Chain A
Amino acid sequence: MQNLDRKLKEYRTAVIDPYHELWKQLAQMLTLKNENNLELRATQAAYDNALTFLRYATERMTIPLPNLTPDGEGGIDIEWERNGRHLALNCGGLGTGNFVAWRGPNDRYEGEPATNELLTQKLNWLKS
């Protein structure tokens, strides 16, 4: 019964917030275990920046769900791929040096320091 209640609660949350799973995965980045001299666990600064960028985008448009991975230096790497187009947002572990990179099919990556406007512009390009 408790299991059913929990599943029902998760279902309601997902219906209310379609990005529920994304926020959950993002929060999990704060709990990863470091190993091999890699800082896999996200710093609070990286988490806060990632959340701010993604919230800004999701409040203005529907975004595809990205793939989240640690960058190994306390930062979070957020990646999308659609129809051969690649878009990535890296939120650095120090809370600075956030970077957006993108490439079309068979192209090489270009990139610029991240801003909310640049990310939403590139998310629109990804979806177009």
Chain B
Amino acid sequence: MQHDPHDQSPYSCTTILFRAITSQYWIKNGEHQPKIFFRRENNDPQGISLFDSIQACKKSMPSGVIYGVRSVHVGRLLDSPSGLGLFPDKHDPSHCNIRFSDGTLTPRLTESPDCRNIGHDLMLVSRPVEYWEAPDADARFAVEIEQKRAAQK
């Protein structure tokens, strides 16, 4: 049975979440690659991880090393053709997982071509945060979003 993912999501459609880029190999010639959103069992066992801030992305790796951040638009994610949903982490309010809207895990690279399709879909609903390394990145992002929304009114 199909569900409307917007009905289940604990996040409003205008919410922006963030994906940490955990390897230099997911970036080619300075361009983010769909591999950023491939689900890997060792990194994303409960789903493709997203965080509610750039700072949370930076803290997500015990090494403290990440290579970039992408902002993800929740409404566009829920409307993507792959049929994705967002599932909050009960143990960490800053974290949630992308799975199929019925709660099942999305496939890995060795399981289905949909791993690549989901990677491409998620690239289309996200964009790089160029200043992710700045200590005030979250504040800058909030101002940027506010300005964009004001301009759209």
Contact = CB atoms under 8 A, between A and B. Distances in A.
The answer to whether A binds B is: yes
B113 interface: yes
Interface residues of B, number: 25
B43 interface: yes
A69 B25 CA distance: 7
Contacts of B42: 37-39, 72-73
Contacts, number: 79
Contacts of B63: 35-36
A75 B109 contact: yes
Interface string A37-80: 11110000000000000000000000000010111110101000
Interface residues of A, number: 27
Contacts of A75: 109-110
A75 B112 CA distance: 15
B40 A97 contact: no
A111 B113 contact: yes
Given A36-B63, A99-B109, A109 B41 contact: no
Interface of A: 35-40, 67, 69-73, 75, 77, 88, 90, 92, 96-99, 101, 103, 108-111
Interface of B: 22-23, 25, 28, 35, 38, 40-43, 61, 63, 65-66, 81, 108-114, 116-117, 120
